[in-house]
Amino acid sequence: MSNRVITISREFGSGGRTIGRKVAEKLGIPCYDAELVQKIAEESGYTAEYVEEESEHTEGSWLSTVLSDRSMGLTNQDKLWTIQSKVIIELAEKGPCVIVGRCADYVLRDKADCLNVFIHASLEKRAERIVKEYGETDDTPEERVKDKDKRRAAYHRFYTDMKWGDAKNYDICLNSGELGIDKCVELICSLY
């Protein structure tokens, strides 16, 4: 497969989803984020809400998951991982695109010509963003950001055996809190 694919991994509240959409728009290629969730839902038979919530995290520690859930076979998360991987590969095979999240960088590691991007920002900037952009009204948006990131990191480690957010796993890491959304978009497009 020779299609050029941009994968966007991101900390919660860093603007990675927005950056991915703007990059795709500027390059004139599709961006798969919510569309990816919808395709996984269709293929799995689960609701999009369930896929959104359950397919990017794993419960408990690795050992407790293996000892409890896997003793009876594959977990729902394992089934979603398999379907998710298949859908990501199929989308990348269709042509150049941007894929946001869902360990696409790992899934496509030997299957596509990828530019793997990680978007991050300070905790304060991300907490401020989720209040402003997502309408978070929780008294502690910082805790919401930390919880979401912790779940993403555990999920990523569990299914890829790689450390989420570790710069050596990506081609470029951008601090959207310092650079701004538009500068991140510009830099990614310049590397495409």
pLDDT, tens digit, 9 for 90 and up, residues 138-154: 678 999 899 999 999 99
Between 18 and 135, the higher pLDDT residue: 18
Phi, psi of 112 (to 5 degrees): -150, 160
Residue 167, pLDDT > 60, answer: yes
Per residue in 3-22, pLDDT tens?
Answer: 699 999 999 999 999 999 99
Q: Whole domain around residue 126: which residue ranges?
A: 4-191
Contacts of 186 (CB under 8 A, 6+ apart): none
Please answer whether residues 67 and 74 qualify as being in contact, where contact means their C-beta atoms are separated by less than 8 angstroms. Answer: no
Q: What is the token pair recorded at 50?
A: 């369930």
183 half-sphere exposure, CB direction, 13 A CA radius:
8
Burial class (CB in 10 A: 0-12, 13-18, 19+), 148: middle
Among 18-27, 150-159, 177-186, which stretch is predicted with the lowest mean pLDDT?
A: 150-159
Given a cut of 50, is residue 81 above it in pLDDT?
Answer: yes
CA distance 176 to 162: 23
CA 35 – CA 49 distance, rounded (Å):
12
pTM of the predicted structure, to 2 decimals = 0.88
Sign of the dihedral through C-alpha 11, 13, 16, 21 = positive
* pLDDT at 67 (0 to 100): 44
What's the CATH code of the domain at 40? 3.40.50.300
Round the average pLDDT of the chain to a whole number and report it: 88
pLDDT at 64 > cutoff 50: no
Q: What is the CA radius of gyration of the chain?
A: 16
